[in-house]
C-alpha cells in the first residue's frame, strides 16, 4: 500500500507518551495509518525519564505498572524474562518479590515494542521517526503542516502533542548568570556532571522529590563521601513503596503469568469512584476529600491494612474526581496540598531508599526545610556562598552556608516549560492552544482535544500526557498515561476514519 495514501497521524514527542500513542493507534485501528513521530533523540522511548544510562536509576514501581500496552499489564514483565534481566540484574529484586528494573532497560523495551508495530506486520500501519525538533505548525484546508528546525515540512490529518515533561529550570534566586557556573548543575538528571563532582565535595540538592533521589542514587552509588544536604520548602521526603500484590512473589514461576488477567491496570483505572470518596458529594472540596481519605485510612488500619491502599484508590480515581472540583478548589490543591500528595504518590525506589537511609543514619545526609534567598561566589574556592532561610525545630532561622556544588532537582514548572517550547509558542500565538484555567498545562476536553483561545475543542489537535496536568489532576506516570491513551485513542480513530 502507498504510504502517502494512508491517513496521516503526526505525534510530536517520542518519549513514553508518544510511543504509547503510536502503539495504541496501531493496535486499535481498523485501517492502516501512516504515523510519524518527531523526536530529536536518536532512540524513541527515552524522553526525559528514561534517557538515563545510570544503572542505579530504576523504575519507581514494579514491572506490571510499566507497559506500552495497558491492556496487557504483564507485557513488560514477559519482556524482562525473555531478555534474561532477572539473571543479569539480580539487584532489581526486592525482598517482597517485586522487581524494580533499570529505566534504561525500560527505554529499550519501549523502542523494541514500537519497532514490532512499525512496519505493517500488525495491520499495515507504518511508523516513521523524524529525528528533529518541531518548531511550528499551521492548520491548512487538508489538515496540518508542521515545520522542523531543519526546515522539513510534514503534512498530517491529525496532530498529537506528546511533549512530556519540560526540562528542569533553576529556581529563584539563581539568575541566568548562574546557569553556566561550574558549581551549579541546573539539571539534576545530568549524570555525567554529577559523576564529575569530587567525592569529598559538600553538595546541596535543591528539591526533595524523586529527581533528588536519582541524584542521590548517582552520588552515593559512586561512593560519594562528602556531606550531602537536600533542601526543600518543607523538608519532606518521598514515602517508601508499600506492600505489593502477593502474586509477585511467584511471578517468575513457570506458567504463573498465563493465569493472570492482562487487563488488571485498565480494570483498576476504570473502577467507579470508591464509596468513601463519593461521600464528599458531586462538587467536593479538597478538604472534604482529605477528610474522607483520613477516615478511610483510620478504618482500614484497624484491619491491619496500610495507608497505601486507600490512598491508591484515591489516586486511581483522581482522573474522575478532578473535573468535579470547582476551580477555586483546584487552585487550593496546587497551593496547599500538592506537595503532600506528591510525597505519598511518588514513592521511593526501595534500592535507592536503602542507600538514602544508610547515609542518613551515618550523618552524611541531611534533609532541611528552607529555601535559598541569595547566592554569591564563595570567598575561597569554586563554590557558592548561599543565604538561607530555614525552619529548625519550628523556628525560622537565617544563616549563610558554603557549598562546593548546587544540584537543581526542583519540581517541574509545566507552564513555564510550555512557554519555552517553540511549537507550543507558535500554536499559542495562533490561538490553537491555551493554558488551562489553573495555568498548570494546556487546556483540553475529556478526549484530550485541545481547546483553542475561544474555548472550542479541536478534534484534529490533541494533547496527551503531563501537559494535561491542570485538566486531569494527575496524568503522570506510565500507568496513568498509558491508561488515558488507551481510553482516548478510539475517539481519535473515529475522527481519523471519519475524515
Domains, the chain, ordered by start: 3-57+102-166+413-498 (3.50.50.60), 176-239+348-408 (3.50.50.60), 272-345 (no CATH)
Residue keyed to cell 544540584:
407
**C-alpha cell at position 486:** 488507551
Gap between the Cα atoms of 55 and 214, Å rounded: 11
Q: Give, for all 499 residues of the chain, the pLDDT tens digit.
A: 455 689 999 999 999 999 999 999 999 999 999 999 999 999 999 988 899 989 999 999 888 889 999 999 899 999 999 999 999 999 999 988 889 999 999 999 999 999 999 987 778 999 999 999 999 999 999 899 999 999 999 999 999 999 988 888 888 888 677 888 999 999 999 999 999 999 999 999 999 999 999 999 999 999 999 999 999 999 999 999 887 777 777 787 778 888 888 888 888 888 899 999 998 888 889 999 999 999 999 999 999 999 999 999 999 999 999 989 999 999 999 998 999 999 999 999 999 999 999 999 999 999 999 999 999 999 888 899 999 999 998 889 999 999 999 999 997 666 666 778 999 999 999 999 999 999 989 999 999 999 999 999 999 999 999 999 999 998 888 889 999 999 999 999 999 988 6
User: What is the model's pLDDT at position 499?
Assistant: 61
Gap between the Cα atoms of 348 and 61, Å rounded: 9
Contacts of 140 (CB under 8 A, 6+ apart): 155
Residue keyed to cell 521511593:
348
At 321, phi and psi to the nearest 5? -75, -40
| pTM score, whole prediction | 0.93
Residue keyed to cell 533521589:
213
User: What is the model's pLDDT at position 1?
Assistant: 47
User: What is the model's pLDDT at position 244?
Assistant: 78
Gap between the Cα atoms of 232 and 391, Å rounded: 11
Strand duo 228-232 + 203-206: pairing:
parallel
Q: What angle (nearest 5°) sits at the alpha carbon of residue 239, between those of residues 236 and 241?
A: 165
Edge-to-edge strands, sheet with 457-463: 126-130, 34-38, 8-12, 158-161, 457-463, 449-451
| DSSP string for 274-297 | PHHHHTT-SS--HHHHHHHHHHHH
Strand duo 449-451 + 143-148: pairing:
unpaired
Where do the H-state alpha helices sit in 197-285? 210-221, 264-270, 275-278
User: What is the model's pLDDT at position 79?
Assistant: 96
At 329, phi and psi to the nearest 5? -75, -35
User: What is the model's pLDDT at position 482?
Assistant: 93
User: What is the model's pLDDT at position 481?
Assistant: 93
Gap between the Cα atoms of 207 and 104, Å rounded: 23
Amino acid at each position: 500500500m502507498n504510504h502517502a495514501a494512508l491517513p496521516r497521524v503526526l505525534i510530536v514527542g517520542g518519549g513514553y507518551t508518544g510511543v504509547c500513542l503510536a502503539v495504541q493507534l496501531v493496535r486499535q485501528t481498523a485501517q492502516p495509518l501512516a504515523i510519524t513521530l518527531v523526536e530529536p533523540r536518536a532512540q524513541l522511548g527515552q524522553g526525559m525519564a528514561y534517557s538515563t544510562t545510570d544503572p542505579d536509576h530504576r523504575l519507581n514501581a514494579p514491572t506490571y505498572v510499566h507497559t506500552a500496552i495497558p491492556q496487557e499489564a504483564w507485557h513488560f514483565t514477559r519482556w524482562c524474562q525473555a531478555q534474561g534481566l532477572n539473571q543479569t540484574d539480580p539487584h532489581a529484586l526486592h525482598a517482597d518479590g517485586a522487581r524494580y528494573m533499570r529505566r534504561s532497560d525500560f527505554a529499550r523495551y519501549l523502542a523494541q515494542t514500537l519497532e514490532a508495530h512499525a512496519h505493517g506486520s500488525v495491520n499495515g500501519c507504518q511508523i516513521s521517526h523524524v529525528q528533529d525538533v518541531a518548531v511550528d505548525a499551521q492548520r491548512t484546508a487538508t489538515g496540518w503542516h508542521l515545520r522542523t528546525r531543519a526546515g522539513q515540512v510534514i503534512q498530517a490529518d491529525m496532530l498529537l502533542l506528546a511533549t512530556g515533561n519540560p526540562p528542569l529550570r533553576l529556581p529563584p534566586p539563581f539568575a541566568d548568570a548562574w546557569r553556566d557556573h561550574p558549581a551549579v548543575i541546573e539539571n539534576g538528571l545530568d549524570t555525567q556532571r554529577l559523576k564529575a563532582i569530587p567525592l569529598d565535595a559538600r553538595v546541596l540538592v535543591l528539591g526533595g522529590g524523586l529527581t533528588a533521589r536519582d541524584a542521590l542514587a548517582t552520588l552515593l552509588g559512586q561512593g560519594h563521601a562528602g556531606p550531602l544536604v537536600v533542601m526543600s520548602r518543607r523538608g519532606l521526603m518521598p514515602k517508601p513503596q508499600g506492600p505489593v500484590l502477593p502474586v509477585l512473589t511467584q511471578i517468575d514461576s513457570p506458567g504463573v503469568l498465563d493465569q493472570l488477567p492482562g487487563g488488571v491496570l485498565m480494570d483498576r483505572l476504570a473502577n467507579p469512584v470508591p464509596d468513601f470518596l463519593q461521600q464528599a458529594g458531586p462538587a467536593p472540596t479538597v478538604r472534604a476529600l482529605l477528610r474522607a481519605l483520613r477516615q478511610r485510612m483510620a478504618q482500614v488500619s484497624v484491619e491491619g491494612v496500610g495507608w497505601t491502599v486507600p490512598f491508591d484508590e484515591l489516586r486511581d480515581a483522581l482522573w474522575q474526581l478532578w473535573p468535579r472540583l470547582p476551580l477555586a478548589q483546584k487552585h487550593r490543591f496546587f497551593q496547599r496540598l500538592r506537595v503532600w500528595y506528591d510525597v505519598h504518590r511518588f514513592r521511593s525506589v526501595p534500592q535507592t531508599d536503602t542507600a538514602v537511609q544508610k547515609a542518613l543514619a551515618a550523618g552524611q545526609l541531611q534533609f532541611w526545610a528552607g529555601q535559598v534567598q541569595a547566592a554569591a561566589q564563595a570567598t575561597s574556592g569554586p563554590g557558592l556562598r548561599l543565604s538561607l532561610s530555614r525552619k529548625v525545630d519550628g523556628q525560622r532561622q537565617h544563616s549563610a552556608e558554603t557549598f562546593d556544588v548546587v544540584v537543581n532537582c526542583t519540581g517541574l514548572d509545566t507552564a513555564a516549560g510550555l512557554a519555552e517550547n517553540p511549537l507550543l509558542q507558535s500554536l499559542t500565538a495562533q490561538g490553537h492552544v491555551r493554558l488551562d484555567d489553573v495555568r498548570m498545562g494546556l487546556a483540553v476536553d475529556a478526549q484530550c482535544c485541545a481547546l483553542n483561545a475561544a474555548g472550542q475543542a479541536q478534534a484534529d489537535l490533541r494533547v496527551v500526557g503531563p501537559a494535561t496536568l491542570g485538566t486531569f489532576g494527575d496524568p503522570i506516570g506510565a500507568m496513568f498515561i498509558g491508561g488515558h491513551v488507551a481510553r482516548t485513542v478510539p475517539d481519535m480513530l473515529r475522527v481519523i476514519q471519519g475524515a
